[in-house]
């Protein structure tokens, strides 16, 4: 029904924070997702990531965009706008 594929895409701008997760058996600490915020622009997501990364309990923060195919619900790979502090390796996405 739509005339172009572009109208079926929706862009999401996300700020996602990470906190350190202690290992139960004295092993290496890891990261887990802390908070996640969605914005309507890239600059809003990036600004929030920069502010969150400054907080004491935040290990790191990412700001990224993803494109969703509205007709199928499929989401593409994240395109990072900024990565601050201690964040997961790109292979973990």
- Identify whether 93 is part of a domain: no
Q: Which residue range is the domain that position 74 belongs to? A: 5-83
pLDDT tens-digit readout, 44-93: 999 999 999 999 999 999 999 999 998 998 999 999 999 999 999 887 65
Residues 59, 63, 73: CA angle, nearest 5 degrees: 120
E strands in the chain: 9-21, 30-39, 60-69, 79-85
In a domain, 91, yes or no: no
Q: Is residue 92 part of a domain?
A: no
Question: Which tokens is 75 given?
Answer: 């989401």
Query: pLDDT tens digit string along 27-50?
Result: 667 899 999 999 999 999 999 999
Q: Is 50 left (phi over 0), alpha (psi -120 to 50) or beta?
A: alpha
């Amino acid at each position: 029904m739509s005339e172009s594929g572009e109208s079926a895409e929706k862009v999401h701008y996300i700020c996602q924070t990470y906190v350190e997760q202690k290992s139960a058996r004295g092993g290496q600490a890891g990261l887990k997702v802390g908070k996640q915020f969605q914005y309507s622009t890239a600059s809003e997501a990036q600004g929030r990531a920069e502010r969150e990364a400054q907080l004491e309990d935040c290990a790191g923060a990412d700001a990224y965009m993803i494109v969703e195919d509205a007709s199928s619900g499929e989401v593409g790979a994240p395109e990072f706008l900024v990565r601050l502090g201690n964040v997961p390796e790109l292979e973990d996405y």
